[in-house]
A and B are shown apart, each in its own frame.
Chain A
């Protein structure tokens, strides 16, 4: 069941208008993929996300969400179908540029933070892009300020709290000044205060956001549009509020609202 499609009607909700002819930030066509061990995770995904949109990618465990995310910057690929980012097809020759445009915040911040200090870690991405010296320092400071971690810059990442580590992971991506930020389950394992801080940071950013989550209230809070991925295909696509108001649809894809939460009574 598909509720709505191309998402153009959600653009104004975000309040950022682009030239109508601008290529979509993310365009996936018939993306299918099997892992080398033979397990097939994606069965032909079509998805189009316009510039400046904030979209939630919902789906049960094992639906293929992480696998899909890995396709967005060419870490996985070679299956069927095509991915393009801002009009640029993701192929071997464009990988470096694609990875500059698409920043991924992984599920586990410990996978993302591996340098001796937070500052080194945030500098890792831009340094790979060839940024050096004062410009590199400026970028790192900007990114750390955006996630409010400026005063922890010289500490080792594993001495931070979990919420701080997740924010540091966001900073590592921000420092690359991407056009699209993809977050894999950003609210998992966060306490309510950290969850709210992260939401404020994400809302303050002027980029296209694709947020993988099964935290439905979080999706409603941050993303005007939602997409359900189930068994490796897109099962629904539409305004978040409508999707969350359809109990049958949610149940069919093993998604559950927290007890007592009713999207219809909210704004």
Chain B
């Protein structure tokens, strides 16, 4: 669901960026309540885990596969504020370093896949947990349900953005039907993996499940002197307040969601016809202004009335649900009197099993070069190397799945970073970051009819590639990450309505053709730009650059933990795969899902415990949250050099606008 550049028009992208920024800022504040010195790496681990889990593609239906979104899981493990930050960090890293999801679409992507999944997931989780009895099974059930709901909710968020600012003419109902259909199915996989992960973490390290804090018992210490002391256990406070708050939140969300969900496709069609969206479409095809096509006041009215209806409906539903909650609570309170003792004993006695001994065999790393580093394997998702070596697989998604299963063999033979001595490599990371972001924004804001302008952009990037001594073949191979959108773009001329044109006897929509061109050109330029950034700047330097560009240090910290834990998780994944396959597991179809789901939980715990020890060692050496990364300040000359690219692009874009 990673939206590329050029798919949503600039105003809506910007608005989404503001929304996402505000959301992230809010989370940064909220996180202070959830994180401390010891739990900060948990956030990094959750991020790395979500990152890794997003590579595990599972089959949905014939021909399609989905990947975990991880928002609900992150919220349940790390808490909602931290969870949202984790997923946001994952998306940022993906779009900056892996060209997965456009830079200008980052706001849309963060809003959909981080804010909405976490908000909806956490709200559903709290409600279900409040309704069910206070046991671990309930927490697991609530996790699964919340994950199941969060995924289609995110797809609805996407459809919302598309309706407001989609640059293609594919009718909203078509997109809605396709997106929700697929994502309900993905939701099933998400529910399974989330439930299984939470269940296995709960069984071994319940202290790592934020969403299960209400299960903690207050502990007593027996000292030898025989006196008692309170145990150092974080105690949950204000659960009730939280439930009320999240009910309110879910009301709002449900109101919006129900608008989309309850509107049958033909209903939306009607709205479109009534309000003239259909009529503007033809004009739209010729009118390439990025600022056109979203002034649909009629839709706004309809939206308002629909939403009012939706909220009313939801209020009624909630009243009923609330009544049920009260009833259940009263009943269970009465029943509790009879069953308190055994239930509490069950919830309170957690078995701690030391799983670390096996996973830290002292020679685990001694075969360093032979085992492809985790970073390599993570990057395998984005490499064609994997594709070439797995001739059998025929979609990018399958390559990803194979890479995740390690099926690529030497899949990760190359890293994203390509060392060379070049002026581009020598530029400071912060100036390169700034240049990349500015360039992509200029590209996206260029009118799509100015075909020549895109040719000039491509030439500019080709120039950078040459100066940076990056082989063109490498850039081309890494562009495989685009494949899903190419497929989508190819469909556009068939799905769009409006003026038609006959091409070789097939009737295609003119608007659709333009949309396809628009998305393809802009997304491709964005992808190439990210590829160049990652190829000329190593991850560590990028972190320094982000820090120097004043990104909040907590985000940089989560990100650097994520990079570190990426290796840990990769190593563990590798070992677990060997263990699994040496016992005859092959995987690859739906029956593999339970195994993947169970592995996910084990993977999380093993990685966490290793990461925890690394973190403790870091703390012991005075680590305070900022890596002593030694970045240099950027000289004015460096800034000038770096900004040549976006400045050149800006001249082109302005010319294109003037010539229209």
Which residues of A come within 8 Å of B, CB atoms?
A: 30, 32-40, 43-44, 70, 73, 75, 77-81, 96, 99-100, 103-104, 106, 108, 110-112, 114, 116, 123-125, 127-129, 156, 158-159, 161-162, 172-173, 176, 189, 233
Contact B206 A32 (CB under 8 A): no
User: Could you show 20 A-B contacts with beta carbons less than 8 Å apart?
Assistant: A30-B225, A32-B229, A36-B232, A37-B350, A38-B217, A43-B221, A44-B224, A79-B231, A79-B232, A99-B619, A100-B622, A104-B620, A108-B362, A110-B364, A111-B617, A114-B564, A124-B623, A125-B622, A128-B623, A159-B368
Q: Please choose the segment from B5-13, B52-60, B169-177, B608-616 that sits at the chain A interface, where 4 or more of its residues have CB less than 8 A away.
A: B608-616
Contact A158 B222 (CB under 8 A): no
Contact A129 B223 (CB under 8 A): no
Residues of chain B contacted by A77 (CB below 8 angstroms): 232
Closest to B617 in A: A112
Cα A100 to Cα B621 in complex, Å, equals 7
Contact A162 B363 (CB under 8 A): yes
Chain B min CB distance to A233 (Å): 5
Contact A96 B622 (CB under 8 A): yes
Closest to B564 in A: A114
Contacts A99-B619, A108-B362, A128-B621; A38 near B349 (Cβ below 8 A): yes
Chain B min CB distance to A128 (Å): 4
B222, B225, B365, B614: the one within 8 Å of A40 (CB)? B222
Tally B residues with Cβ within 8 Å of A: 43
Contact B621 A37 (CB under 8 A): no
Cα A159 to Cα B362 in complex, Å, equals 13
Residues of chain B contacted by A233 (CB below 8 angstroms): 224
Closest to A96 in B: B622
Which residues of B come within 8 Å of A, CB atoms?
A: 205-207, 216-217, 219, 221-225, 229, 231-234, 348-350, 352, 360, 362-366, 368, 540, 564, 610, 613-614, 616-624, 628, 630
Contact A34 B231 (CB under 8 A): yes
B222, B360, B621: the one within 8 Å of A173 (CB)? B621
Contact A108 B360 (CB under 8 A): yes
Contact A80 B223 (CB under 8 A): yes
Contact A34 B620 (CB under 8 A): no
Closest to A190 in B: B362
Contacts A80-B223, A99-B620, A100-B622; A106 near B217 (Cβ below 8 A): no
Contact A124 B621 (CB under 8 A): yes
Closest to B206 in A: A37
Chain A min CB distance to B536 (Å): 18
Chain A min CB distance to B370 (Å): 12
Cα A129 to Cα B626 in complex, Å, equals 12
Residue in B224, B229, B540, B619 whose Cβ sees the most chain A Cβ within 10 Å: B224
Contact A114 B231 (CB under 8 A): no
Closest to B362 in A: A189
Chain A min CB distance to B600 (Å): 21
B205, B223, B352: the one within 8 Å of A32 (CB)? B223
Residues of chain A contacted by B368 (CB below 8 angstroms): 156, 158-159
Chain B min CB distance to A63 (Å): 14
Contact A162 B614 (CB under 8 A): no
Contact A73 B613 (CB under 8 A): no
Contact A70 B229 (CB under 8 A): no
Contact A44 B223 (CB under 8 A): yes
